[in-house]
Homo-oligomer: A and B are copies of this chain.
Amino acid sequence: MQHFLSTQDWTKSELDQLLLAAKRLQQSPWNERMRRRSIALLFFNPSLRTRTSFELGMHQLGGHAVVLQPGKDAWGIAFEESTVMDGSEEEHMKEVAGVLSRYCDLIAVRAFPKGQDWLVDRQDLLIHHLAKYSQVPVINMETILHPCQELAFIMALQQRIGSVAKKRMTLTWTWHPKALNTAVANSALLIGTRFGMDVTLLIPEQAYALDEQFMQQAHSNAQASGGSVEVTTNIEQAYRDADVVYAKSWGALPLYGQVQEEQKLREPYRHFIVDEAKMSLTNNAVFSHCLPLRRNVKATDAVMDSPQCMALEEAENRLHVQKAIMLKLLNA
């Protein structure tokens, strides 16, 4: 039994097959290959695209999705081993996984990191415990990685520019009023290097470096794929001749959980916004973002509304790639 927790667990050839299947599903969205199949969608955090695309995707394949929000309309869930559950959680992941495995054919989960201790959160325990206890395949709908987004991004990029190998991809940090999850940044880094791109990570200062585990994976990826990884704090250098600009905001890991201090550190860097001036340095680059995006904070209206912006195509592709993933996991 295979899960879809990280693209790193899948071979490049398997990822290529998923993308091919997704493109076919875009052409021909409806079939009955998931008839009598169901998926439980566990949302610990809000969602618009993910919720809609999984629910509709399953429906378009003849199956059914059940949406659950633990701690809101369902019970809070603990997942540590041997824990004495006298806190706020009413239920253990062993039972949640066990029960949902008996009801459903797939389980997908969105569980953002808790934001207090990165040494804990970087282990991504919740989804790994879910996968461990589940009798059915588990799909990551965003934890500290967002692998469905990765495939949607690559698919959109391939449809825009063809083969992505050796293309220059700038992954730029942007300012945001809150210290956000690094998931999409980690994911963009992984998938770019996996597909042989020359990835430049642009950060305002060293504190915004991504976690070492993902940097190492990116370097291994690049070595295997013929791509490269480079980190810079130089905006002009990062944008110069880029073929792709991908924007994301995240909080500084050394100040993880220290909201005020992190905010102070971030404050001087509002000028990392993606704007026309920066885009004019590029090789007429396509621009994208995972959404939701705060306009005129992360990127200007001019960039978002330009023909270079492929954010909506990427969002649409969530539907197609997720259908491909569900079908593959169930060999359906």
Check if A212 is an interface residue, CB within 8 A of chain B: no
Does A56 lie within 8 Å of B66, measured CB to CB? yes
Check if A47 is an interface residue, CB within 8 A of chain B: yes
Stretch in contact with the other chain, from A121-129, A158-166, A235-243, A287-295:
A287-295
Interface residues on A, range: 35 or more
Stretch in contact with the other chain, from A184-192, A296-304, A324-332:
A296-304
Query: How many copies of this chain?
Result: 3
Q: For A47, A99, A291, which residue has the most chain B Cβ atoms within 10 angstroms?
A: A99
Bound Cα distance A265, B128 (Å): 39
Stretch in contact with the other chain, from A4-12, A13-21, A71-79, A137-145:
A71-79
| Chain B residue with the shortest CB-CB distance to A92 | B295
Bound Cα distance A138, B85 (Å): 35
Closest Cβ–Cβ distance, residue A140 to chain B (whole Å): 19
Check if A167 is an interface residue, CB within 8 A of chain B: no
Given contacts A36-B30, A95-B312, A295-B92, whether A69 and B59 have CB atoms under 8 Å apart is: no
Set B51, B78, B86: member contacting A73, Cβ < 8 A: B51
| Chain B residue with the shortest CB-CB distance to A178 | B90
Check if A177 is an interface residue, CB within 8 A of chain B: yes
Set B72, B87, B99: member contacting A49, Cβ < 8 A: B99
Closest Cβ–Cβ distance, residue A28 to chain B (whole Å): 12
Set B56, B98, B104: member contacting A312, Cβ < 8 A: B98
Bound Cα distance A293, B99 (Å): 12
Check if A316 is an interface residue, CB within 8 A of chain B: yes
Does B59 lie within 8 Å of A46, measured CB to CB? no
Bound Cα distance A47, B68 (Å): 9
| Chain B residue with the shortest CB-CB distance to A100 | B52
Check if A262 is an interface residue, CB within 8 A of chain B: no
Bound Cα distance A46, B48 (Å): 18
Does A48 lie within 8 Å of B99, measured CB to CB? yes
Does B53 lie within 8 Å of A74, measured CB to CB? no
For the complex of A and B, the 3 pairs showing the least CB-CB separation, nearest first, are A91-B292, A85-B294, A102-B316
**Contacts A43-B73, A99-B291, A103-B319 supplied; 4 other A-B pairs, CB < 8 Å:** A46-B72, A52-B99, A82-B296, A92-B295
